[in-house]
Each structure stands twice: as C-alpha cells, then as structure tokens.
Structure 1
Amino acid sequence: MGRVPVAPPRVVGSSGSPVDPRCVAAGPGAAWAHAPYPVLVADRDGRLVELNDAARQLWSDAVRGDKLRDTVPSWLAEAHGRFTDGTSGGAVRTAGAVADRFFEAHPTPTDEGDVVWWLVDDTDRRLAEAALAGTRRRTALLADVSSQLLSTLNLTRCLEATARMATDHLAEAAVLVAPPQGRRYPLTYAFRGGPVTRVTAPVEVRDLPGLAEALQGFPPVPARWIDPARLPGWSRPAGFREPVGSVIVAPLPGHGVSAGALVLLRSSSEQAFSDDELFARLFAARAGAALSAARLYTEQSSITATLMRELLPPRLESVHGVEYAGAYRPARDNEHIGGDFYDVHPGAGPAEESLVTLGDVAGKGLDAAVLTGKIRNTLHALLPLATDHVRMLTLLNKALLSSPHTRFATLVLASVRRRGGEVALRLTSAGHLPPLIVRADGTVEEAATRGSLIGALPRVTATTARVTLHPGETCLLYTDGVTEARGGPLGDELFGEHRLKRVLAECAGLPAEAVVERIQMLTAQWLGPGSHDDIATVAIGAPRVADRTVADGQGRARSTTHRRTP
C-alpha cells in the first residue's frame, strides 16, 4: 500500500516567492535550503541526506550519512521510523524539544523514497498557552480564596484559613502578623504538613525588612532585598526546619486600615519567589479584604453585644422577701430587643420600697429599643422621687417631649414593700393596661389605676391604687403583646383579657416564676407561627413561706429566672 503524502507547510524562498516542497527531490539547491525554519532529509534507512541552513544551526556537527538516532532527538528519529515502515498509516505529526526550543515536525516523502522533515518552531505558542493556563489557574485560585475567606466572618477562622491557604498554594511556610494589641502582635503560623498555631507575643517588626512598612499599608519591599539568612527567629513556624531560600513580606490591605502583613517562606530547594511575587501580592490583597471585613464584623458584634446588655431586660430575683419573675419575647424572633421593657430597682433595705417599672414604647425593633433605653435611664435617675409616682411620670413626660423622638410610651409603676408575711403595693398606670391581682382563692382582680400616655400630651394625669398581697398571691404586670396575641385555631383570634384572667385563676398559689412561665407558654402556643407584638410580663409575689433572710437583712434569698422565650 502506498503512502499518503502529507502536505508540508507553505515555504517561501529567498526571493519571497512560494516554493513547491516537491522541489526537494532535485536536491538541496535553492529550493528549501533557505527555508525560514529547519528542514532535514533522511532516507528510508534512517540516515541523514541533507540539512538546510536553519537545521545546521541546531545540529552543527551533523554530516551526510549520519544515523538519525545519533544526530537528532529520539522523538524525531522514532517518528521517522514509524513513517518509513508504514506503521503510522502515512500520517505522522510529532513534536518535541530541540535544545531550548520546541518544534512540530511534519514529514513529506520524495520521489526517491526519502523523507523531508519540516520543523516548525512552536515555542512561542506553547509559552503563550502555558502563560494563559497559568493565568486562568491563578484567577480560579484567587476566586476560591475570596470565596473561602469571605464565607466566614469569624476573625480567628479567617486568620487560620489565610495562613493555611498560603502554604497550600504559595509557600512552604507562612506567618500572618495582625495589627498590634498594645505592644504585642497576634501571630498566626502555618507550614506545609503541619498545624496552624496562633500566639500573641512582643516582636521587633523592624528586624524583618519591609514588615514595619507593610503593617502601615505601604507598598511591599521586593523579595530580592530580603536576606533569608538574617530572618528573626519569631518569623519561622516552630516546626519548620528547612533552610529558607526566599522570602516575601506582603501587606494585607484593609478597608482604609491595614489588616496586617503576610510573611511567606520558601526553602532553598524550592523555586524563588521572583515569578510569583505579583501573584503573592494579589493573594494578600484578597486575604486583606476578607480579614478587614471579619475584623469589622467582630468589632461591631462586640459593640452590639455591649449595647444589648444594657437594653435587654434584667434577670429578676427575690428581693427583701418578695418574689419577682419576668419574661420577654421580642416581636421579631431574629432580634433580641424591642419596645417592651421592665426593671426592678431594689430598695436600700427591707423597710424601703422597691420600684418595679414595666412599659411599652410605640413601635418595634431597634428604634423602639433605643427609646426604651432612654426611658429606663431617666427612671433610674428619678428613683429618689419614687414616693410620688405622678411626679416621676410628669418629669419623664417632659424629658420625652423635649427629645427628638416622636414615639410615645405606656408605663406602669409598682412600689413594693414587704410587711411581715404580706406585700404592700402602690400601682400607677400611665396609659398602660392595669395590673392583675391573683388571689389565693383563684379570684382575679384588676387594679383600680388609670392614666395618660407618656410623651404624647403636655400634662400627665394618673391615679394610684394601693393593693396588699397575702401569702401565695401574685400581682401581674404585662404588655398588650399578651392580650393582642393573634392566633388560635384559625390564626385570627386575639388571646384577650378574658382568656388571660382565666389562665391566671388557674395559677392561684403558684410562685411568681411559675405564673410567668405559664403565661409565656400558653401565649406562644396560641400564637403558633404567626406574627406578634413584643411580649413582656413581670410577676410580683408574696411567698407562702416567710423568708428567713428578711430578718437578718439579707436582700436576695431565692433566685428566680428571667426567661426570654425563643
């Protein structure tokens, strides 16, 4: 079976006109001898017949008659053998390296049975493809870095992930230097195959060239300026024993403030950072953005938690022999604060009155919670006037009217004093639902107190009711989130005062804590998954058994709990 000729590349002669490759049958002459790329001719026995000038630059010692396997690379000699013995089916396209270049080889048979090999330099194309593949790989890696680091706003995890990913993709060891805390620097260490460790230690940043500048957000010092032999001891992970051959110190740019610096170490057996320095800086930029976001979130969370502690209702306990219990459920389950609030301000001693406040600010969420904080602080400042409820309410009303807030509030005040086994109450409502009294026999009474809103009218009017609780009896202060809880079988019925009074009647003789838990549980069951307003309840109870600690002046006898219904 005859061979199928393979068309060679287009050849241009010395005059610039195309040359028919078949002219090689006539010998070297002027046909392909001046081709712009290497051309060689070999016979069927694998011996060299002729080379052109470009090919002689590659194989300067080759002479006619030399065996191909002794002259050219093995990949070309083997391809010639496959082409001449017919195992290639008449079509061979091979490629390989010659010195520091890469060539594709195309065969063309001659009439005499020889084979002309045309070598096309493919080095630049391959380098371009390799560079493109490297760029794509690094782009994908940077996207993965951003995705993984931004998936967590936990600062500690973000620091550890940055150090670990740096050792996975950039260096054999990494040290992440975070902004200082006083005179100490948080350091996160990682090395390939080892654990990630974190310490906080005093370090001299100027011992490592470029680190002080990187921590201030200045451009990085080139890697060639850093002498690996002069690295300070703290800059190496404890388990990294390899001699350092190359170092990069890259800043971690944050949102207007430096997020720290990343120190990358490669051993002397690894490739230097010269080709990867730019990529290392891009990695550091992505990591810096993620760390800055995590640090900002952590700081804001800390501030929020501090403010929340001030805005959340307090834990209630037994004070001067009187039981107190409270519970709060915000309107939005994903929030912790809202417009309902309560406080218990203990008296100086058993003979002094304690003041209980419970209120409801118009609105929900953070805006309402801010006003509740102002009201609570104002009432705390007015405690010396607690003997006169109307005066307290008047001063509070003036404070709210003079503030930029346009919201109003309802409020109920309860002054509480233990008298033997009984508890004396003075109750004053300012636009709020009147307190309910649960007697020992299950009777539920409504305290005879009424009053106007706070923060709505220039003048406050209110009446004060006096109530005595006998052992086992309870006074309940509550917000309209209880009675206006909409639910039931069809989800559109209010819980209502009548249902609340029936529940309280069933709680006769129970401790204050049990009364609150019972109301919260039944209200939550009534609501189901439906929406609701803020719900707050406070129970004031006269214990069935006399509290022995009252006699010796101890203020807190039995601890009850403040519960937040989820």
Structure 2
Amino acid sequence: MLDAGGAVLAANDAARALLPAGAPPEWLTGGDRATGAIGDRTFEAHAVRHEDESTTWWFVDDTDTRLAVDALRVERERAALLGDASNALLASLNLDRCMDVAARLAAEHLADAAVVIAPPNRRRYPVVVSRRGEAPVRDVLRFNPEEVPGLAEALQGFPPVPSRWIDPATAPAWLRPEGFGELGSIVVTPLPGLGVPAGALVLLRRTGEPSFSDEEEIFARLFAARAGTAMSAARMFAQQASITETLMRELLPPALHQVGGVEFAGRYRPAQDTERVGGDFYDVHPGAGGEEAESLAVLGDVCGKGLEAAVLTGKIRTTLQALLPMADDHERVLNRLNDVLVNPHNTRFATLVLASAARAGTEVKLRLTCAGHPAPLVVRVDGAVEPVATQGNLVGVMPAVAASTAAVTLAPGESCLLYTDGITEARGGPLGDEMFGEARLRRALAECAGMPADAIVEHVQMLAAQWIGQRPHDDMAVVAITAPRGRHLTAVGGHSRGRYTA
C-alpha cells in the first residue's frame, strides 16, 4: 500500500518476498493498471484507490500466460511460414528454382545464411547459397561431406546431429559465404524426399547471434521436410519429362524426303493440340539394292487417341520394321502384323495402307494395298484425281487379313496421296458441323497437279485446318508420293517436316 507520494505504507508477506528492498518497481506509476518485470517474472499490477488518497496495488504473476501467448504467436508465425514455403516451393517443378526458393526462405526466416545441397552427380554436388537479403547463388562443387559433422549422414537421409555438437571453427571454406564473417553456430538437417533423400540443408549464424535453440532445430526439420518433398517432386518430374521426351522422339512421325529418286512428304496433326502424338502415323522404309530398289511407305490409323493410341502405333511401326524382308508381299506383311495384334483380351485394331514405290526411268511404279483404310488418290498431270482400286479388312480384328493390291504408274509430276479419315471426316466449315469429305479433298488435289510432294501435303493440311478452325477433330495424317519432274524448289532443302503446326 502506497501513500499519495508513493511511499510504502504496508506490504503483506507475498509483497515483501517479491520486493526484498521494500521499494515499489519503477514501472509502477499512475493509472489503475501497469505491467512490468520483476526479476525473471512478469506481472500485472491492479490499483485500488482509497479516500485518503492511498493506493493498494495487487500484483498478478502473468509470466506463464505471456510465455504461452508468445509461444502461440511464434507457432502461428511458423505455421504461416511453412504454408507460404510449401506454396512457393510447389509452385515450380523446376529443381533449380526449388533449391533457390528453399535457400532464400531459410536464410530469411531461420538463419543468417543457408546452404542447400543436392545429391551428387559424378561426385559433384549442386549447391545453392543464400545470405539474408541477397539473391541465391548456384554452384557445383566437389568436396568431401565428411568435412562437416553430420553432412554425410544428412545426405543419406539419417537424423540430424544436434547443433551443439558441431564446432563452427572446423567448417570448411566452401561452406562459408564470401564476406559472411565468423561462424557462431551451424545446423545440418536432411532434406527428406519421396523414397530417396533429396539432399541436405545447412543453416549458418554469425558469432554474436543467439545459438540455435532446440525448438529452432525442430522447426528447421519441419521446413526441410517441405523443401525436400518439393525438390524430390521436381527431380522426379524432370526425370519423367526426360524419359517421356526420349520415348516421344521414337513415336513422332519421321521427316520425309526423296528416297531412291521418289519424292515423299508427310504431315501430321494430333487430335489434341496440347499433345504431340496420337493414333495416326506414317513411315518410309528405303529399299535395299540401290537407286531402283522399292521403298515401302506405310500410313496407318489405330483405334483411340492420345498417348495410349501412340503406344500402339509404336508397336505397329516396330513390327513393320521387322517385317521389311517380306515387303514384296503386302498381304503377307499385313497377316503377320495381324497375328501380333489379335488378342482375345484386348480389341486393338488399325487401318493401314502400304505403298511400295520404285523409280523406273522417269516414272514411278507403285504397288498399293489397303486394309480397312480409305483408298489412296492419284493426281494426274492434267488435274484428274483417281481413287486406287484396293481394299481389305481391318488389321487386328479377324484371324486373317484379306486384301487386294493395285498397281499404279506415276508419270513425272504426278502424285499419289495417302491420308487418314481424320481429313475427310473433319467437321467444320461455314455451318460448323459439315464434314470436309472426299469430294472436297479431290477438288483440293486437282489444284495440286504438277506440284511437289511437300507442297501437296502442306496444301491439304492447311485446307483441313482452315475447315475445322478451333473445333475438336480427330488425328490427321497425309503422305504424298511424287514422281519428280525436273528440278523444283521445296520447303526446306527437299526435306519434309513430320509435324503440322497450326
């Protein structure tokens, strides 16, 4: 109890124990409420005013409450950081950017500097170093992880070594950012991945800064778990993208050019513009035996669309490659392929047209065989367009394939067009739902009389693309076989692109 001048009038036993000197704390000033510290405890003081202008102050120890509030605030901040970190890390499936983000966030919120180390590639470690307030720096280093206590274990995914066990003075030079100053404390923690370790995170603090507490080390592990998951996902995505790209190259239609004195050109457009492969395909296999040898052109359309259909086209193309020694007998080739595709558990079929082409003087001799496929169209020099009289049943449905082969001769400047039904059945036009149709295709080909193969397929694909506009469509593929007439200019050095670009 204090008088009007602040002198102590009375104190109970608890007050005397709290204030051995008998004087009130400096922070106990006017007002009805005050807060402050006495020793290592914090208190709230509440005043009761009396008529004689004396005041009784009651002290309430709120140390534990404040500690709980502070702990809650810290946990909320950390939870928010982990959420923001997860969003930032998972926003990119690029491994380099993930490492940059992890190093920058760790330096910003957990330490004065952070080093993110990825698993080695041929004994060289990708490293990202970030100092607080500075941009991350990437490098690839060769070092012995045993130089840093706990680093070799962290890179293998083992639990971290406590920070107090690591002597900062023993840290190698490569671990110290340039101009960082003297190291005061180090934390080394693994970056857990998806099944395999994603690397290690090293946190650095300067001398003079508080050492890492147990709670901070635990939080560093939580942060590292999110960073490691994101890095692992980015690495898996990169590996899968690389594998997909490698496989895709084998599934894409090849670039066609002049083979054995015969011009070949092709164009392909998948049903989905976001995909690169689909159910239509073509190949040209040069014949063995010199300039006059027969080359085999194949155009096909398998059931389905997208990658699943592309896998089947890959199987068909590989099988046909193996059947090239019997290419002089189209029906035999189709039946051997049919044996591979017929399966009582899966209905997988395809339509095909085989075209064997050989130069004979100035002319080109063709043998054409269709198996459930639209008949090829021949474009004569005078603009006449003739269907080829060949037909047969689907490949992959019946126990055997029955097909007829037709012989065609192309004079110089004449062409034969192989196409899939994605061209003729393309819906669009002024009314939006009209099929392109064979009659329209024939009129387009009549305008191509005397044109080189590359110009013909480009013209057909362009007209089909204009017809459908932005509407859905099936896979579309065309191949032109032309008997050259003198010299002419072609699109790119006589070579045809294997893909149509809208």
TM-score by length of structure 2 reads 0.94
**Residue 402 of structure 1: CA displacement?**
5.8
- SS in structure 2 of the partner of residue 280 of structure 1: helix
Q: Which residue of 2 aligns with 1:151?
A: 91
Q: Partner of 1:350: helix, strand, or coil?
A: coil
Name the CA distance, whole Å, in 2 between partners of 1:342 and 1:42: 101
1:561 to 483, 497, 500: 497
Name which of 213, 230, 233 aligns with 1:293: 233
Q: Which residue of 1 aligns with 2:278?
A: 338
Question: Aligned to 1:431, which of 372, 389, 392?
Answer: 372
Cα RMSD, aligned residues only: 2.1
Instruction: Say whether residues 1:483 and 2:413 are aligned partners.
Output: no
State the one-letter code of the partner of 2:12. Answer: N
Contact 1:317 1:561 in 2 (8 A): no
Instruction: Give 1:265's aligned amino acid.
Output: L
Q: Offset at 1:281?
A: 0.4
- The aligned residue for residue 44 of structure 1 is 4
Structure 2: stretches of 5+ with no match in the other structure: none
Instruction: Call closer, same or farther: CA 1:385–1:225 in 2, change over 3 Å.
Output: same
**1:390 CA drift (Å):** 1.9
Aligned length: 498
1:75 to 2:16 alignment = no
2:471 aligned to which of 530, 534, 546: 530
Match of 1:241 among 176, 180, 190: 180
Given residue 383 of structure 1, which amino acid in structure 2 is its aligned partner? Answer: L
In 1, Cα distance between equivalents of 2:252 and 2:397: 25
Distance in 2 between the 1:110 and 1:402 partners? 102
Matched, 1:389 2:330: yes
Q: Report the 3-state secondary structure (helix = DSSP H, G, I; strand = E; otherwise coil) of the residue aligned with 1:75.
A: coil
- How far 1:361 sits from its partner (Å)? 0.8
Asked if residue 214 in structure 1 is aligned to residue 193 in structure 2, the reply is: no
What amino acid does structure 1 have at the position aligned with 2:494? R
The question of whether the paired residues in 2 share the 8 Å contact of 1:479 and 1:537 is answered with: yes
Which residue number in structure 2 is paired with residue 277 of structure 1?
A: 217
2:402 pairs with 1:465: no
Q: Provide the C-alpha distance between the structure 2 equivalents of 1:557 and 1:173, rounded to a whole number of angstroms.
A: 56
In 2, the alpha carbon distance for the partners of 1:547 and 1:135 equals: 75
Distance 2:269 2:65 in 1: 69
Aligned residue runs from structure 1 range 60-209, under 5 A: 60-62=20-22, 71-77=23-29, 79=30, 83=31, 92-209=32-149
> Does structure 1 retain, via aligned residues, the 8 Å contact 2:260–2:293?
no
C-alpha distance in 1 between matches for 2:273 and 2:496: 24
Deviation at 1:321, TM superposition (A): 3.6
CA distance in 2, matches of 1:164, 1:240: 17
1:311 — aligned with what? 251
Q: How far 1:132 moved relative to its partner?
A: 0.6
Deviation at 1:519, TM superposition (A): 1.4
Quickly say closer, same or farther: Cα 1:168–1:557, change in 2 above 3 A: closer
Separation in structure 1 between the aligned mates of residue 163 and residue 258 of structure 2, nearest angstrom:
67
Letter of the 2:58 counterpart: W
Report what 1:231 is aligned to: 171
| CA distance in structure 1 between the partners assigned to 2:286 and 2:454 by the alignment | 18
Moved over 6 A (4+): none
Amino acid at match of 1:259: A
Residues in 1 aligned to 2:307 and 2:39: alpha-carbon distance in whole angstroms:
73
- Unaligned runs of 5+ residues in structure 1 are 1-40, 63-70, 84-91, 549-555
Match of 1:371 in 2: 312
Identity among equivalent pairs (%): 59
| Superimposed CA distance per residue, residues 60-94 of structure 1 (whole angstroms, 9 cap, x where no aligned partner) | 233xxxxxxxx5444313x2xxx5xxxxxxxx222
Name the CA distance, whole Å, in 2 between partners of 1:536 and 1:427. 17
Deviations 1:110-158 (A, max 9, x none): 2322111222112111111000111111111111111111121122211
Q: Is the 8 A contact 2:180 2:206 kept in 1?
A: no
Q: Which residue of 2 aligns with 1:261?
A: 200
Provide TM-score, normalisation by structure 1: 0.84
Match for 2:202: what amino acid?
A: V
Output the CA distance in 2 between the equivalents of 1:410 and 1:202. Answer: 56
Shift of 1:229: 0.9
Retained in 1: the 8 A contact 2:342–2:348?
no
